[in-house]
């Protein structure tokens, strides 16, 4: 039976004494992390290679000095984890620099600020923690923690956790996040495939096509349905409130008490929007993965948008890429092929009936909702046509398993696709959704 590693997170309610203990702990892990980054930087600046003695220098030796003697007062395990995180971050940067690590360039780890939004401290099993869940009440036991830490157990843990992270969010709330192992859920064939067109303004359009179980491209009895996933009203309301509070924050005087209050308000709304958005993404992704044997999506190009993340378009794009990340993760964990169609593939312009490129193009094409193919005369709804093309292209890529998945311009008809029944692995890659990963290890 295959298993997957996941995080389970619960809201925690520390006592006054524990709050003060955690504040010291968060401070120490931050300083240890920064010391490790500083040491790696200095070694690099001195022309030496990747240091192997980070922990000895930053913890073992430092603890004997008066400046870092206070490290002895907190959980050493968390400091070791923090130094390990810094080392990993530096290793990634170093490997990226020397070309050993492929893909996008990794920048050097930066110092964590005291005003850093999220505070974390991670405990490995070496900390000898234990967890008990009794109904809705969870308790985390750690030595020298002034009693157990209580948390709301919204669901049971599937296994004994291998690590626990204490988290304090920018709005002041505390959480415990456990790393656990759970069996991968598997299901039989569902007899349907889907193509997803993520909208320019709406959330997404999903085209579902029924298939013969075991044969994804069989089209004898085709039933196609289109569902639109909309951004829920409550989420839009929250996003508006967040934008308002951000404007209010920018109007306050620097260093004033009102600014501090406004910052907490913004942080709280940020969290609410993030949670609502992630929840929405999870619900729809789960439903899609449960109902389909294969899902085709278009890859998004969102990196340049990060520069002006305040615009409504950027927020929307960010939500879209988050949705696709969650979907990818869910699909991978259940073994459902998720095929990514290259962004260069003209899903909007191609006629899904005759595959001629006759659809709306360019900037004027953006406003066209419906159009008629000049080649075969079919009337098209823009979104449905795009979702159909993405599905067809996804099926083609899946059945052909081409060496170059970017070569998706050459379009084949479904009849051609059916002639080559080679079951192929999907090019999915396991990746945890970022929201879940973000409070695990600093990257």
CB 69 within 8 A of CB 119: no
Measured CA to CA, the distance from residue 36 to residue 107 in angstroms comes to 16
Phi and psi, residue 139, nearest 5°? -135, 135
Shortest CA distance to 27 belongs to which of 84, 79, 95?
A: 79
In the complex, minimum distance from the CB of residue 378 to Zn ion, in angstroms, rounded to a whole number: 5
Stretch that binds Zn ion, among 17-25, 32-40, 162-170, 365-373 (CB under 5 A): 365-373
Q: Which is nearer to Zn ion, 40 or 384 (CB)?
A: 384
Examine residue 354 and tell whether it contacts Zn ion (CB under 5 A): yes
Phi and psi, residue 434, nearest 5°? -65, -35
Q: Which is nearer to Zn ion, 279 or 416 (CB)?
A: 416
Examine residue 231 and tell whether it contacts Zn ion (CB under 5 A): no
Examine residue 375 and tell whether it contacts Zn ion (CB under 5 A): yes
CB 168 within 8 A of CB 116: no
Query: What is the chain's percent helix, strand, coil content, to nearest 5?
Result: 45, 20, 40
Which is it for the CA torsion 54, 60, 62, 63, positive or negative? positive
In the complex, minimum distance from the CB of residue 377 to Zn ion, in angstroms, rounded to a whole number: 7
- Among 194, 229, 326, 373, the residue binding Zn ion under the rule CB under 5 A is 373
- Among 353, 428, 438, 441, the residue binding Zn ion under the rule CB under 5 A is 353
In the complex, minimum distance from the CB of residue 328 to Zn ion, in angstroms, rounded to a whole number: 31
CB 377 within 8 A of CB 358: no
Q: Which is nearer to Zn ion, 129 or 345 (CB)?
A: 345
CB 197 within 8 A of CB 204: yes
Stretch that binds Zn ion, among 94-102, 239-247, 251-259, 368-376 (CB under 5 A): 368-376
In the complex, minimum distance from the CB of residue 324 to Zn ion, in angstroms, rounded to a whole number: 28
Q: Which is nearer to Zn ion, 96 or 355 (CB)?
A: 355
In the complex, minimum distance from the CB of residue 217 to Zn ion, in angstroms, rounded to a whole number: 20
Stretch that binds Zn ion, among 170-178, 216-224, 354-362, 408-416 (CB under 5 A): 354-362
Q: Which is nearer to Zn ion, 267 or 351 (CB)?
A: 351
In the complex, minimum distance from the CB of residue 359 to Zn ion, in angstroms, rounded to a whole number: 9
Examine residue 351 and tell whether it contacts Zn ion (CB under 5 A): yes
What ranges in 48-175 are assigned the alpha helix state H?
54-55, 76-98
Measured CA to CA, the distance from residue 217 to residue 193 in angstroms comes to 9
Q: Which is nearer to Zn ion, 114 or 369 (CB)?
A: 369
Measured CA to CA, the distance from residue 8 to residue 138 in angstroms comes to 12
* 76-98 and 16-45 helices, crossing angle to 10°: 30
Task: Output DSSP code: residue 114.
Answer: T
Write the binding mask 259 to 288 for Zn ion: x where contact by CB under 5 A, - elsewhere: ------------------------------
In the complex, minimum distance from the CB of residue 388 to Zn ion, in angstroms, rounded to a whole number: 12
Examine residue 370 and tell whether it contacts Zn ion (CB under 5 A): no
In the complex, minimum distance from the CB of residue 310 to Zn ion, in angstroms, rounded to a whole number: 41
Q: Which is nearer to Zn ion, 351 or 395 (CB)?
A: 351
Q: Which is nearer to Zn ion, 365 or 423 (CB)?
A: 365
In the complex, minimum distance from the CB of residue 382 to Zn ion, in angstroms, rounded to a whole number: 14
Stretch that binds Zn ion, among 108-116, 136-144, 333-341, 343-351 (CB under 5 A): 343-351
Examine residue 376 and tell whether it contacts Zn ion (CB under 5 A): yes
Cα 394 versus chain centre, distance:
23
Examine residue 69 and tell whether it contacts Zn ion (CB under 5 A): no
Q: Which is nearer to Zn ion, 349 or 399 (CB)?
A: 349
**289: enclosing H helix or E strand:** helix 257-291
In the complex, minimum distance from the CB of residue 357 to Zn ion, in angstroms, rounded to a whole number: 9
Contacts of 336 (CB under 8 A, 6+ apart): 289, 292, 293, 294, 295, 330
Write the binding mask 400 to 439 for Zn ion: x where contact by CB under 5 A, - elsewhere: ----------------------------------------
Contacts of 204 (CB under 8 A, 6+ apart): 196, 197, 198, 228, 229, 284, 320, 323
CB 211 within 8 A of CB 292: no
Contact residues for Zn ion (CB under 5 A)?
351, 353-354, 373, 375-376
């Amino acid at each position: 039976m295959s298993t997957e590693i996941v995080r389970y997170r619960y809201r925690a309610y520390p006592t006054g004494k524990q709050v003060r203990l955690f504040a010291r702990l968060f401070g120490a892990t931050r300083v240890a992390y920064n010391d490790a980054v500083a040491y790696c930087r200095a070694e690099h600046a001195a022309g030496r290679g990747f240091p192997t003695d980070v922990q000895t220098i930053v913890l073992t030796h430092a603890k004997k000095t008066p400046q870092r003697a206070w490290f002895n007062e907190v959980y050493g395990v968390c400091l070791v984890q923090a130094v390990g995180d810094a080392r990993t971050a530096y290793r990634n940067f170093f490997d990226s620099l020397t070309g050993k690590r492929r893909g996008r360039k990794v920048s050097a780890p930066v110092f964590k600020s005291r005003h850093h939004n999220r505070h974390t401290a991670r405990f490995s099993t070496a900390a000898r923690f234990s967890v008990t869940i009794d109904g809705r009440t969870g308790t985390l036991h750690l030595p020298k923690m002034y009693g157990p830490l209580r948390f709301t157990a919204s669901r049971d843990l599937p296994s004994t956790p291998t690590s626990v992270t204490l988290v304090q969010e920018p709005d002041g709330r505390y959480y415990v996040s456990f790393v656990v192992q759970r069996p991968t859920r598997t299901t039989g064939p569902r007899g349907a495939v889907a193509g997803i067109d993520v909208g320019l303004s709406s959330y997404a359009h999903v085209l579902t096509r029924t298939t013969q179980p075991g044969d994804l491209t069989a089209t004898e009895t085709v039933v196609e349905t289109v569902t639109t996933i909309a951004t829920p009203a409550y989420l839009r309301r929250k996003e508006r409130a967040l934008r308002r509070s951000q404007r209010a924050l920018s109007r306050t005087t620097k260093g004033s008490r009102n600014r501090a209050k406004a910052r907490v308000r913004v942080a709280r709304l940020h969290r609410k929007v993030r949670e609502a958005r992630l929840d929405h993404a999870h619900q729809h992704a789960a439903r899609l993965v449960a109902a389909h044997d294969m899902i085709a999506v278009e890859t998004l190009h969102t990196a340049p948008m990060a520069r002006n993340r305040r615009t409504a378009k950027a927020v929307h794009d960010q939500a879209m890429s988050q949705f696709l990340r969650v979907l990818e993760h869910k699909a991978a964990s259940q073994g459902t092929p998720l095929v990514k169609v290259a962004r260069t593939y003209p899903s909007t312009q191609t006629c899904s009936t005759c595959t001629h490129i006759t659809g709306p193009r360019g900037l004027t094409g953006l406003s066209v909702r419906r159009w008629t193919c000049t080649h075969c005369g079919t009337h098209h709804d823009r979104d449905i046509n795009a979702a159909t093309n993405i599905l067809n292209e996804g099926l083609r890529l899946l059945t052909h398993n081409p060496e170059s998945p970017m070569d998706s311009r050459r379009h084949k008809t479904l009849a051609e696709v059916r002639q080559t029944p080679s079951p192929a692995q999907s090019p999915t890659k396991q990746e945890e959704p970022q929201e879940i990963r973000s409070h695990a290890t600093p990257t």
